[in-house]
Structure formats: C-alpha cells, structure tokens
Amino acid sequence: MPGQVGAIENEQQGLLAYLAQMRYVLRLTAYGLTDEQLRATPSASQLSVGGLIKHCASTEAGWMGQVRGEPQELDYHAYAENFRLAEGETIDDVFARYDRVAEQTEKTVTELNDLEHRVEIDHSVPWNSKDMTHWTLRWVLLHLIQETARHTGHADIIRESVDGATAYPLMAAAEGWPETDWLKPWKPAPR
C-alpha cells in the first residue's frame, strides 16, 4: 500500500480508504519486531506496539457491532486486557483478527450504504455526550480514523523507543522500496 491514500470517488469510499490506511500504518509499527519487542513498554505508560494493535482491532469491532445494533456490554477488565498481548497470543493472531474486523467493517458500511445511518449513543459511559441521542455512521468512521491515527502515533513513539525505527523507513523495508540518499529502508540491528 502506498504512503498516501489514492484517488477517491465518493465520501464513503474515502472514509473506508483512510481507515484502511491508518490500519496499515499501525500494522507497520510491528514490522520486524520480536515477540519480546512487541510486548515492550518503554514509555511511562503500559502501552506496547502489540497491545495497541490489539486495542484498535477490538475498538473497531465494538463500534461496528454498535452500528449493526448488536447489544454492547462494556467490560472494563476485558477493555484493559485488550491493551496487551496475552501469554501465548501472537501478533499473527492479532493481525488475523484485525483482518476479519476490517472485512466486517467494509461489509457493514457497504451494505448500509448510508453515512447518515443512526447509531444509538450508549449513555452508560461518562465520555459519551448526554445531550445527543445518536451518532451517524459517518461520525463512527471518522471516530475510528481518529482513534486509529491517535494510537498509531503512540505506536510510532514506542517503536522508535524500542529500536529507533520510524514510519517511512519501516514502510520502505516492508514494501521493498529502493534505498536513496535521503531514505534508507529499515534493517534489523545485527544480533
């Protein structure tokens, strides 16, 4: 996938393309990391690259369930657990789940084909506006783009703290871009 979203023909396609792009660059933060590095928490928080990817997959699945009108029950313990890779859980497991979530998001949005589709607001949580009754599908997609981009920034910082890698060199390595004077694809440190 290129570093930028390509041409878009309509708003729905654009929202889905930007969400897909954010998922992709988030996944790139895990490129070439060991299991230990994926679980590393080198900042003041307990955030890790693997945990952030898992959290974004879970968050997107939850929002799309809400869009489809599925009952939602907020489990704070499960919410906290979605910020870390469990024992025995691999990044491949998380990527496979994220792929299924992305496919379901695309299917849901395409089948609804209505960015004005109403999504009831859950007023049981303190961060949701009490003076509104619903979001729209458009709002949910924009929120998912925002949420994924925000956590991609976190993952970028964590990744850089783990081994010094940054976004475009990682993308260059993952996509096989040629080395230039100003952009060198990331390479793992010699062991």
Other Cβ atoms less than 10 A from the Cβ of 77: the count is 7
Q: How confident is the model at residue 78 (pLDDT cuts 50, 70, 90)?
A: confident
Per the CB < 8 A criterion, the answer to whether 22 and 3 are in contact is no
pLDDT at 122: 82
pLDDT at 126: 83
| Nearest-angstrom CA–CA distance, 50 and 71 | 27
Mean pLDDT (the chain, rounded): 93
The pTM for the full model equals 0.94
- Whether 30 has a pLDDT exceeding 80, the answer reads yes
Q: How confident is the model at residue 1 (pLDDT cuts 50, 70, 90)?
A: low
pLDDT at 4: 85
- Whether 74 has a pLDDT exceeding 90, the answer reads no
Q: For residue 133, which phi and psi values (nearest 5 degrees)? A: -105, -25
